[in-house]
Amino acid sequence: MSDTVKLSDFKFDGLSRDKIDDLSTLDAQDKETLIMSGVDVEDANRSGSFLQMDHSNVHCKSNDPGVEILDIKDAIEKYDGLTEYRWKLIDKDKDEYTRNTAANTHGGYFIRTKPGAKIEKPVQSCLFLKADQVGQNVHNIVVVEENSELHIITGCSVAHGTTSGAHFGISEFYVKKGGKLTFTMVHNWGSNVSVRPRSAGVVEEGGVLLNNYILMKPVKDLQMYPSITLKGEGARARFNSVVVAPEGSHLDMGNRVVMDAPDTRCEIIARTISTGGTIINRGHIGANHVPSRGHLECQGLILGEGRIWAIPELDGCLEGVELSHEASVGKIAQDEIEYLMARGLDEDEATSTIVRGFLNTDVMGLPAKLQKEVDRQIDELQKHGAM
Amino acid sequence: MLKIENLHVNIGDKEVIKGIDLEIKEGETFILFGPNGSGKTSLLMTLMGFAGYTVTKGKITFRGEDITHAPTYERARLGVGMSFQRPPTIHGLRTRHLVQLCGQGDEVDVEDLSRKVNFEQFLDRDINAGFSGGEIKRSELLQLMAQRPSLVLFDEPESGVDLENMQLIGKVCRQLLDGRINARPDQSLKEIKEQSKTSGLIITHTGYILDYVNADRGQVLYNGHLCCEARPRDILEHIRTYGYQECVRCLK
């Protein structure tokens, strides 16, 4: 498996799309694809929506005066180049994907709250690959101003399971003093899609970043390693990932948190299942100040075939840091199966109950419709004997 | 209800049960004594049919059916229920959900049952995650109440339990064995007693549980053999005074 995506295999120009004023006018198939990514096409339960299709932003709307949602190109124009936030956390020259995205940005969102605004309903976004062989470059910037709260649900999808494509997404997150950002990402790629997100964020004093990630569908190869710096005193971050890799999927993923201020806390929890694919599950917590507390969990189940390579790293730089990790790669424990069998469940029922628990996403606080969709995807995986 | 005939059990190459005969009748509660390592827990594990406990000889019959080699879930569905001493934590499986599953398709009033063991505030926690000794016992009892077995296997109900919890656990144990969990308030005690068909097989070290349940018979398991059938209180008294030395002499 090569780690590089050959950019010349994809089309980075010419795949523009028309505006869509009302998401409910999308055709049935596109609609379903969006729903699977957590997008509520009815829009009523959302504070705003953003949809990027191939090379165009086709829909962008805020329903709440407390949150601004713009296409990144419009934001650059409106805010004199957006120099305060753009390419500040990620180096433009990091790799060929960032260079290519910097040179030819197709779109992406700029989402910013007003100071003190508690945005009750989530803002939803979807980055959608519709044409075959499309290469999509997006740059997203999220700014949560002081003492404001925001939940973003972002789904990524392809039109058909067979569509080939490549997605390159730069994301920069700014959580200011006392702000709180919940960022839920659902990936629904296909077995011919390569994905290279490049994400980074800073959390200021007393700020909170909660990050949820769900991947239940095949993807050709994905490589991502969002890096968050807890810059201000009392800042917190929590990452929860639930990932399933079927045969053919190659995932190199993880999270990095640097605790760069006193009284910081973080937790990175990844639950991964391979049913034939490869998962490299990284995690890194660094602590440069005290008191600071970090916990890292990489739990992996191999069901049938597959490979899970857990790489947990802890880097404490002075006396008094409290860092811990728990990692495991294995199969379902026999004592758990027997426990449930003693309650009358046969072996298959016991196994599926345990897998379901392993993939439990209750802690993420997803909206009901999305939770239902996630449950349905797990059902489907189990029904088809994938696990 | 349960009939064990000439049962021999191996763990790997080692014989841990060396020819046991035991019968427990409907509604009867049987107490099993014995020092550490005598095979008590192995006997319970074998009755439940867990992997690693190989029956090399003999027969187990439950309600007329030969279950010697039946899978665990079939025994559970036939009415064997077990309280685990060290149950595993299952991530993401809420206690509430597991109690519901224990009903095996029957409607279970989880809230109502959980009140009986003071467990309402644990229902939304992952099963056994960080549970204390007493909490594990209450959780196991809650699951058994939902399961409504006709034979309860109880491995040391008093281990790791403080005095206050012991009272609660003892009381609920008694109710479970008396079949009073689902009793209707308009029934007389006599009627309830007559309906009761729940049997019990209880392992105890300390005998505290004898203060609560109505134990009919008892026996000592020593080094894989059963001996000294007597009234449970008498056995306990004897062990307290003389230890298990008497068993050594007796088995010679």
SS3 for chain A, per residue? CCCCCCHHHCECCCCCCCCCCCHHHCCHHHHHHHHHCCCCCCCCCCCEEEEEECCEEEEEEECCCCEEEEEHHHHHHHCHHHCCCCCCCCCCCCCHHHHHHHHCCCECEEEEECCCCECCCCEEEEEEECCCCEEEEEEEEEEECCCCEEEEEEEEEECCCCCCEEEEEEEEEEECCCCEEEEEEEEECCCCEEEEEEEEEEECCCCEEEEEEEECCCCCEEEECCEEEECCCCCEEEEEEEEEEECCCEEEEEEEEEECCCCEEEEEEEEEEEEECEEEEEEEEEECCCCEEEEEEEEEEECCCCEEEEEEEEEECCCCCEEEEEEEEECCCHHHHHHHHCCCCCHHHHHHHHHHHHCCCHHHCCCHHHHHHHHHHHHHHHHCCCC
Q: Give residue B201's pLDDT.
A: 96
Task: Give the mean pLDDT of chain A.
Answer: 93
Residue indicated by tokens 């997605």: A167
Q: Which domain holds residue A94?
A: 1-215
Contact A359 B92 (CB under 8 A): yes
Q: Is the pLDDT of residue A161 over 80?
A: no
> Which residues of chain A make contact with B147, given a CB cutoff of 8 A?
343-344
- B126 bridge partner residues: B94
Residues A324 and A357 placed together within one structural domain of the fold = no
Same domain for A120 and A176, yes or no, is yes
Chain A contact set for B72 (CB, 8 A): 338, 341-342
Q: What is the pLDDT of residue A239?
A: 97
Whether the CB of B93 is below 8 Å from some CB of chain A: the reply is yes
Please tell me the pTM assigned to this model.
0.89
Mean confidence (pLDDT) of chain B:
90
A363: closest CA of chain B, how far (Å): 9
- Which chain A residues are closer than 8 Å to B145 by Cβ? none
Q: Say if residues A299 and A327 touch (Cβ distance below 8 Å).
A: yes
Nearest residue on chain A to B143, alpha-carbon basis: A343
Residue A122 lies in a domain: yes
Question: Side chain identity at A76, as an amino acid letter?
Answer: I
Q: What percent of chain A has pLDDT over 90?
A: 82
Q: Which helix (H) or strand (E) holds B81?
A: strand B80-83
Contact A342 B91 (CB under 8 A): no
Which residues in chain B are closer than 8 Å to A271, comparing Cβ atoms?
91
Cβ–Cβ gap A353/B93 under 8 Å: yes
Nearest by CB to residue A357, choosing from B82, B91, B143, is B91
Of B71, B81, B84, nearest to A339 by CB-CB distance is B84
Asked whether residue A344 is assigned to any structural domain, the reply reads yes
Handedness of CA B72, B75, B76, B81 (dihedral sign): negative
Whether A3 and A43 map to the same domain: the answer is: yes
B76 in contact with chain A, both atoms CB, cutoff 8 A: yes
Q: Which of A198, A301, A190 is nearest to A243 (CA)?
A: A301
Residue among B71, B171, B83 nearest B128 (CA) = B83
Within 8 A of A371 by CB-CB distance, chain B residues are none
Q: Phi and psi for A206 in degrees, rounded to 5?
A: 70, 5
Section A88-111 average pLDDT: 96
At A350, phi and psi to the nearest 5? -65, -45
Tokens of A85: 């936030």
Higher pLDDT, A29 or A194: A194
Cβ pair A346:B126 closer than 8 A: no
Residue A220 is assigned to a structural domain of this protein:
no
Predicted confidence band at A1 (pLDDT cuts at 50, 70, 90)? Answer: very low
Domain total of chain A: 3
| Cβ(B229)–Cβ(B219) below 8 Å | yes
Tell me, yes or no, whether A310 lies in a domain: yes
CB-nearest to B72 from A271, A299, A342 is A342
Cβ-Cβ contacts under 8 Å, A374 against chain B: none
Bridge partners of B22?
Answer: B4
The answer to whether position A178 is within a domain reads yes
Residue B88 to residue A339, Cβ atoms within 8 A: yes
Same domain, A53 and A161: yes
Q: Give the torsion through C-alpha atoms of A257, A262, A263, A266, to 10 deg.
A: 10
Which residue in B143, B131, B26, B32 sits closest to B83, CA to CA?
Answer: B143
Length of chain B as a residue count:
252
Question: Which pairing describes strands A236-246 and B65-66: parallel, antiparallel, or unpaired?
Answer: unpaired
A140 and A39 within one domain = yes
The tens digit of pLDDT for each residue in A306-338 reads 999 999 999 999 999 999 999 999 999 999 999
**Residue type (1 letter), B14:** K
In a domain, A368, yes or no: yes
In a shared domain, residues A153 and A95: yes
Are B22 and B44 spatial neighbours (Cβ–Cβ below 8 Å)?
no
Beta bridge partners of B94: B126
Cα angle A284-A138-A180, degrees, rounded to a multiple of 5: 55
Which residues in chain B come in under a pLDDT of 50?
none
String of b and e for B91-113 (b: at least 16 CB within 10 Å)? bbbbbbbbbbbbbbeeebebeeb
Do A176 and A249 lie in one domain? The reply is no
Point out the domain boundary residue: A177, A197, A215: A215
Confidence of residue A357 (pLDDT cuts 50, 70, 90): very high
CA distance B79 to chain A (A): 9
In a domain, A121, yes or no: yes
Burial class (CB in 10 A: 0-12, 13-18, 19+), B139: buried
CA distances, A87 to each of A106, A108, A133, A260 (Å): 16, 14, 27, 20
A353 to B72: CB separation less than 8 angstroms, yes or no: no
Q: Which residues pair with A172 in a beta bridge?
A: A141, A200
In the prediction, which pLDDT does B115 show?
A: 95
C-beta pairs of B108-112 under 8 Å, 24+ apart in sequence? B108/B146, B110/B146
Distance CA A258, CA A9 (A): 36
Which CATH number describes the domain made up of B2-251? 3.40.50.300
**Is A277 a residue whose pLDDT tops 90?**
yes
Residue A162 falls inside a structural domain: yes
**What is the per-residue pLDDT across A54-71, written as a single tens digit (0 to 9) for each?**
999 999 999 999 999 999
Q: What is the pLDDT of residue A35?
A: 80
For residues A317 and A360, state if they share a domain: no
Same domain, A209 and A304: no
Give the closest of B51, B77, B81 to A334, CB-based: B51
Are B32 and B239 contacting, i.e. CB atoms less than 8 angstroms apart?
A: no
Structure tokens at A132: 């075959």
Q: B51 to each of A351, B17, B47, how far by Cα in Å?
A: 16, 15, 11
Q: Please determine, for residue A95, whether its predicted confidence score (pLDDT) is greater than 90.
A: yes
Q: What is the mean pLDDT of residues A69-98?
A: 96
At B195, list the tokens. Answer: 């309906």
Do residue A356 and residue B50 have CB atoms under 8 angstroms apart? no
Tell the burial category of A166 from Cβ atoms under 10 Å away from its Cβ (0-12, 13-18, 19+). Answer: buried
A-chain residues near B88 (CB < 8 A): 333, 335-336, 339
Cβ–Cβ pairs < 8 A, chains A and B: 69
Give φ, ψ of A135 to 5 degrees.
Answer: -110, 120
Q: Is the pLDDT of residue A2 over 60?
A: no
CB contact under 8 A, A359 and B48: no
Q: Do A338 and B77 touch (CB under 8 A)?
A: no
End residue of a domain, out of A181, A197, A215: A215
Residues A338, A247 within the same domain: no
Domain final residue pick, A159, A191, A215: A215
Q: How many angstroms separate the CA atoms of A269 and A272, rounded?
A: 10
Tokens of A95: 């790799």
A135 with A263, same domain: the answer is no
Query: What strands, in cross-sheet order, belong to the sheet with A208-215?
Result: A56-62, A48-53, A123-129, A149-158, A180-188, A208-215, A236-246, A264-275, A292-302, A322-330
Q: In angstroms, how far apart are the furthest CA atoms of chain B?
A: 55
**The tokens 């897998």 sit on which residue?**
A355
Q: Are residues A233 and A206 in the same domain?
A: no
Using DSSP, state whether B243 is helix, strand or coil.
coil
CB B222 within 8 A of CB B247: yes
What residues in B contact A339, CB-CB < 8 Å? Answer: 84, 87-88, 90
Beta A322-330 vs A221-224: how paired, if at all? unpaired
